[in-house]
Amino acid sequence: MRAAIYRRPGPAAEVLEVVEVERPEPGPGQVRVRVTTSGINPTDWKTRAGLTRRRPDGFQVPHHDGAGVVDAVGEGVAGLAVGQRVWLYLAGHRNRYGTAAEYAVVPAVRAVPLPDTASDDLGACLGVPALTAAHCLGGRPEALKGRTVLVAGGAGAVGHFAIQLAKHSGAQVVATVSSAEKQALAEAAGADHVVRYTEPGAAQRVLDLAGPVDRIVEVAPAANLELDLGVIAPRGTLSTYAAEETLTLPGGPLMSANVTLTFVLLYGLSAEQLADAIRWTSDALAAGALTALPVAAYPLDEVATAQDRVEQGFVGKVVLRMAAR
């Protein structure tokens, strides 16, 4: 099969190459998926660049997310069949075969049925962003009905699915963005209200539109903490999935309001937590409540350019589309 690989961390153009490798066979509890679309997340380029502690074992096929068709089933696998469309998540986690290839072999639990009503682009957009969003929202949709949710960065991938999952669960959703372009994306995702956090009085604007906020999904806690504390309701929860910088926390206001502060990294979730997030995402997908982000598509041979596009902050989702052979 043709696959993008890297053997050491470094700049995309220097370390990524597209080569022929042996097509892997699924072992017990695994499935092989013929990949049609590979989704790229920030975690993919950061790992390839060496910004995390993970290093290739010989070689690594990058990318965690994707969509495709089950091609072979290993011993002991139930609930998946050859020919079934699936979406993939965390394909490259502790696994050599990510989705930037014509085929990927993954634990069967990481291949989730993709309804016929959902496109491959949408399937490849899910994975890391949608499951992160679901866990940041508490993992269980019934707890959000009638609540108010603030989604910071409502035009991003996690923000997009946080808006849609919260709306599907019966929550009122307000999103914050920085520009007119991003406001249009957050509105298209279904946010009830969209506020420019760059404008004066943004916190008061949130309160005027939506009232105190029960749960916040936060992309930039250091930059947005003042706004968050200005709008969060007593006993509210602030969940952040992007807190790589040093945070200085005002203990008094957090304690006075009994705020719960949670940090979310998908790799570290328990099997039960992942199962809750997958169930919520799958239910919303089956109901037609989830939509694809704006997509920039590249062929496999342009994987380095595609990863660089993500690193440069493309608003939407960058994907690789595999050519049929």
Q: Provide the CATH number for the domain around residue 82.
A: 3.90.180.10
Structure letter (DSSP) for residue 200: T
Q: Are residues 136 and 117 in the same domain?
A: no
Residue 233 placed within a domain? yes
Q: Are residues 134 and 250 in the same domain?
A: yes
Residue 35 placed within a domain? yes
Q: Are residues 46 and 17 in the same domain?
A: yes
Residue 84 placed within a domain? yes
Residue 20 has φ and ψ, to the nearest 5°, of: -90, 125
Q: What is the pLDDT of residues 35-87, one digit of tens each?
A: 999 999 999 999 999 988 888 889 999 999 999 999 999 999 999 999 999 99
Residue 74 placed within a domain? yes
Q: Are residues 86 and 196 in the same domain?
A: no
Q: Are residues 34 and 119 in the same domain?
A: yes
Q: What is the pLDDT of residues 280-309, one digit of tens each?
A: 999 999 999 999 999 999 999 999 999 999
- Residue 227, Ramachandran bin (φ over 0: left; ψ between -120 and 50: alpha; else beta): alpha
Q: Are residues 117 and 148 in the same domain?
A: no
Residue 98 placed within a domain? yes
Structure letter (DSSP) for residue 216: E
Distance, CA of 135 to CA of 239 (rounded, Å): 9
Q: How confident is the model at residue 52, as a pLDDT? A: 84
Residue 34 structural domain: 2-126+291-321
Q: Are residues 171 and 256 in the same domain?
A: yes
Q: Are residues 246 and 147 in the same domain?
A: yes
Q: How confident is the model at residue 325 (pLDDT cuts 50, 70, 90)?
A: low
Q: Are residues 68 and 143 in the same domain?
A: no
Number of domains the chain is built from: 2
Q: What is the pLDDT of residues 83-111, one digit of tens each?
A: 999 999 999 999 999 999 999 999 999 99
What percent of the chain clears pLDDT 90, i.e. is strictly above it?
Answer: 93
Distance, CA of 216 to CA of 147 (rounded, Å): 11
Containing 34, the helix (H) or strand (E) segment is: strand 30-40
Q: Provide the CATH number for the domain around residue 210.
A: 3.40.50.720
Average pLDDT over residues 128-152: 96
Q: Are residues 92 and 165 in the same domain?
A: no
Distance, CA of 1 to CA of 325 (rounded, Å): 10
Residue 281 placed within a domain? no
Q: Degrees (nearest 5) of the Cα angle 260, 110, 145?
A: 40
Q: What is the pLDDT of residues 156-182, one digit of tens each?
A: 999 999 999 999 999 999 999 999 999
Q: Are residues 223 and 299 in the same domain?
A: no
Q: Are residues 107 and 137 in the same domain?
A: no
Residues 6+ apart with CB under 8 A from 30: 74, 77, 105, 106, 107, 108
Q: How confident is the model at residue 146, as a pLDDT? A: 96
Residue 284 placed within a domain? no
- Region of poorest pLDDT, from 147-161, 191-205, 231-245: 231-245
Predicted model pTM: 0.95
Residue 275 placed within a domain? no
